[in-house]
Amino acid sequence: MTNEYAVEMRDVVKRFITPEGNELAAVDHVTMQIRNGEFFSMLGSSGCGKTTSLRMIAGFEWPTEGEVYIEGKPMGHTPPFQRKVNTVFQNYALFQHMTVFENIAFGLEMEGAEKDEIQKRVKHALEMVQLTGMERRRPKQLSGGQQQRVAVARSLVKVPDVLLLDEPLGALDLKLRKEMQLELKALQQQLGITFIYVTHDQEEALTMSDRIAVMSKGKVQQIGTPVEIYERPANRFVADFIGESNFFEGTIKSLSKDEAVVHIPALNADVTALPVSNGLANKDEVVVSIRPEKVRISEKNSMNVNMFQGKVSNTVYIGTDTHVYLDVNGAKLKVYEQNRISRLDPKSFYEVGQDVWLMLMPENTLVLKKD
């Protein structure tokens, strides 16, 4: 491991011709550096280019422009079987005509490994995914979760530099998915292999990843740690895609390094907020974003700035939180209040129609580019 980056995509473009004959850039000038030993996720909805990016790293597709580097070496048109990366497919792609043992041994046989060596390594791989004793079963005789483990073992037995995972948990039910998330993460930490993980599930990405690339329409919107992505989204798309947010459109009235004043017509007021997106300028049309759990509700006006009077329009009790929907001068706002105290009295909750004050703390209120 001499290179800092396990995988690098430099200005990669992948164009397809659609069935209608139009040209479509599935991946549009994507640059990213994935560090050795990192759990890196590509997150986005379908059609955002995440799977195509992964397939270009695997070698199933070749870039139209730009270059993919693995361990510092440009891949060009290197076929998949000559790359030190392995893929766990979305549908597992297990060989149904082979037993579990044969499936896992396949990659080693292709390397020309000795019989004893294969025995030993397959056994070890099965232990790693806790499937010892299943050697003779056929994939069809296994549950979805077990098939998933076979697919992981089949790839890991080759000891790749990088393991690529294409929505590997998509077909599993929620409970099993959460278990497997933790298991995969533990496996990755234990082995120290770079994992590149494609998912559309933001919670999954936040749970597992060291860093996340949020993608949309073939472009990278932001690369960062889960905390960075959630707390300092690069733009409105990221703030909207990861978690939930209240958005207000407005115009920057004044701007310094760590404070911006934005006029918001919907609130008919100026809001002091934290400039977050790169390249903001005075008089820019921007969006102000605040997460529902970061809005504070109080009975009286306790601050001079960023306080707004609103009316409770609805409340929803969901156990951990109570969601409070508010109306502020006609603008809608949602607030998640954590239920920190065990209580039954309905009077202790906000009531519909109640007048309250809302506090938007400047450090929680982010100024973002519109896209």
Partner 1 sequence: MFQRLRENKSAQGTLLALPTMVWMMALLIIPLLLTLVISFGRRSPDGGVIYSFSLENYLRLLGYSTDCENGASACFNSLYVQILWRSLTLAFNTTVLVILMAYPLAYFIARAQPKRRNTFLFLVLIPLWTNFVIRVYAWMMLLRKEGAINLIIGQVAHLLHIPFQPLELLYTPGAVLVGMVYEFLPFMILPIYTSLEKIDTSLYEAAADLGANAVKTFLRVTLPLSMPGVVAGTILVFIPVMGTFIVSDILGGRQVILVGNLIQRQFLDARDPTFGSAASLILMVLTLIVTYFYTRKFGFGEEIVVA
Residue 198 CB, shortest distance to partner 1, in Å, is: 14
Residue 151 CB, shortest distance to partner 1, in Å, is: 9
Binding residues for partner 1 restricted to 315-354, rule: CB under 8 A = none
33 within 8 A of 8, measured Cβ to Cβ: yes
- Binding residue (CB under 8 A) for partner 1 from 155, 202, 289, 365: 155
What distance in Å separates the CA atoms of residue 179 and residue 29, rounded to the nearest whole number?
35
The string of DSSP letters for 7-74 reads EEEEEEEEEEE-TTS-EEEEEEEEEEEEETT-EEEEE-STTSSHHHHHHHHHTSS--SEEEEEETTEE
**Residue 232 in tokens:** 């300092």
3-state helix, strand, coil in the chain (%, to 5): 25, 35, 35
Q: Return the SS3 of 182.
A: helix
What distance in Å separates the CA atoms of residue 21 and residue 17, rounded to the nearest whole number?
6
Of the pair 141, 339, the CB lying nearest partner 1 is at: 141
Binding residues for partner 1 restricted to 123-152, rule: CB under 8 A = 139-140
**Which among 246, 193, 237, 232 is positioned nearest to 45, based on CA atoms?**
237
Which x/- pattern over 177-216 shows residues binding partner 1 (rule: CB under 8 A)?
Answer: ----------------------------------------
Q: Return the SS3 of 136.
A: coil
Query: Total number of residues binding partner 1 (CB under 8 A)?
Result: 26
DSSP 139: G
- The answer to whether residue 111 forms part of the interface with partner 1 (CB under 8 A) is yes
Torsion, Cα 292 207 89 73, to 10 degrees, reads 110
Residue 10 CB, shortest distance to partner 1, in Å, is: 23
Residue 165 CB, shortest distance to partner 1, in Å, is: 12
Of the pair 95, 317, the CB lying nearest partner 1 is at: 95
Residue 287 CB, shortest distance to partner 1, in Å, is: 40
What distance in Å separates the CA atoms of residue 98 and residue 137, rounded to the nearest whole number?
9
Of the pair 162, 234, the CB lying nearest partner 1 is at: 162
Of the pair 107, 275, the CB lying nearest partner 1 is at: 107
Binding residues for partner 1 restricted to 22-61, rule: CB under 8 A = 58-60
Which x/- pattern over 69-108 shows residues binding partner 1 (rule: CB under 8 A)?
Answer: ----------xxx---xxx-xxx-xxxxx--------xx-
Provide the binding-site residues for partner 1, judged by CB under 8 A. 58-60, 79-81, 85-87, 89-91, 93-97, 106-107, 110-111, 139-140, 154-155, 158
